[in-house]
Chain A
Amino acid sequence: GENVEQHPSTLSVQEGDSAVIKCTYSDSASNYFPWYKQELGKRPQLIIDIRSNVGEKKDQRIAVTLNKTAKHFSLHITETQPEDSAVYFCAASYNSNYQLIWGAGTKLIIKP
């Protein structure tokens, strides 16, 4: 079955700097790749997603890139702000049910 690896487990960046989180997936049939942000004790919230027919997608300070050949995708956050501090999860979905297989999460810490 699908397996998603996510790195790093913890990322600490200075406020205003950029943050990059990387994920790899194993199943070449995967076709949908969302990123979720989870604040402590809260539900996961979708922040951006990308389908396999697109290489890059951007939404204000957040962007996701997908390399299907290498089977990896990345989340880029620019001009980081304190409210970006949270745990970020990547996920992949490989069939029409769209059930999500999740990465282990990255704790993003924004230093003032």
Chain B
Amino acid sequence: EPEVTQTPSHQVTQMGQEVILRCVPISNHLYFYWYRQILGQKVEFLVSFYNNEISEKSEIFDDQFSVERPDGSNFTLKIRSTKLEDSAMYFCASRNQQRGVSYNEQFFGPGTRLTVL
């Protein structure tokens, strides 16, 4: 069964450094999402992406964040200048659409644990 994959599984960085988190969504999915989960807290929506552009973003997704689909398979989240409070688990998710029908279910990757020191 196809799955969403994410790399790396764990990223440790110094405050102020740039990080890029990578995701490979399920191949025929057209909608992509990033969420984050601070340890012990709820999952928070960051951004949704469709048709090569951001379709919606939350208040968390400020100018230090950006997303990109550099090729036909990868979907990346870049944090330009990391802060201590960016430490969290970052989940990528993807959703299908076929023949004009949207499927609701989002499939999640295993997450990247980002630790900012």
The answer to whether B43 touches A34, judged by C-beta atoms less than 8 angstroms apart, is no
List residues of chain A with CB within 8 A of the CB of B107: 46
B99 within 8 A of A: no
Known: A102-B43, A105-B42. A97 touches B104 (CB 8 A): no
The answer to whether A32 touches B44, judged by C-beta atoms less than 8 angstroms apart, is no
CB distance from A31 to the nearest CB of B (A): 9
A26 within 8 A of B: no
Number of interface residues of A (CB under 8 A): 23
Tell me the interface secondary structure of chain B in the complex.
strand
B45 within 8 A of A: yes
List residues of chain B with CB within 8 A of the CB of A60: none
Stretch of B13-21, B70-78, B79-87, B108-116 that contacts chain A: B108-116
The answer to whether B43 touches A97, judged by C-beta atoms less than 8 angstroms apart, is no
A100 within 8 A of B: yes
The answer to whether A98 touches B42, judged by C-beta atoms less than 8 angstroms apart, is no
Q: Which of chain A's residues 39-67 have a Cβ closer than 8 Å to chain B? A: 42-46, 49, 51
Known: A32-B104, A42-B110, A49-B105. A97 touches B42 (CB 8 A): no
Instruction: A104 to B37: give the CA distance in the assembly, Å.
Output: 11
The answer to whether A98 touches B104, judged by C-beta atoms less than 8 angstroms apart, is yes
In the complex, which of the residues A43, A46, A49, A101 contacts B110, with contact meaning CB atoms closer than 8 Å? A43
A10 within 8 A of B: no
A95 within 8 A of B: yes
The answer to whether B105 touches A34, judged by C-beta atoms less than 8 angstroms apart, is yes
Instruction: A34 to B95: give the CA distance in the assembly, Å.
Output: 14
11 further interface pairs, Cβ-Cβ under 8 Å (given A43-B91, A97-B48, A98-B104)? A43-B111, A45-B108, A46-B106, A89-B43, A93-B104, A98-B95, A99-B45, A99-B56, A100-B33, A102-B43, A105-B42
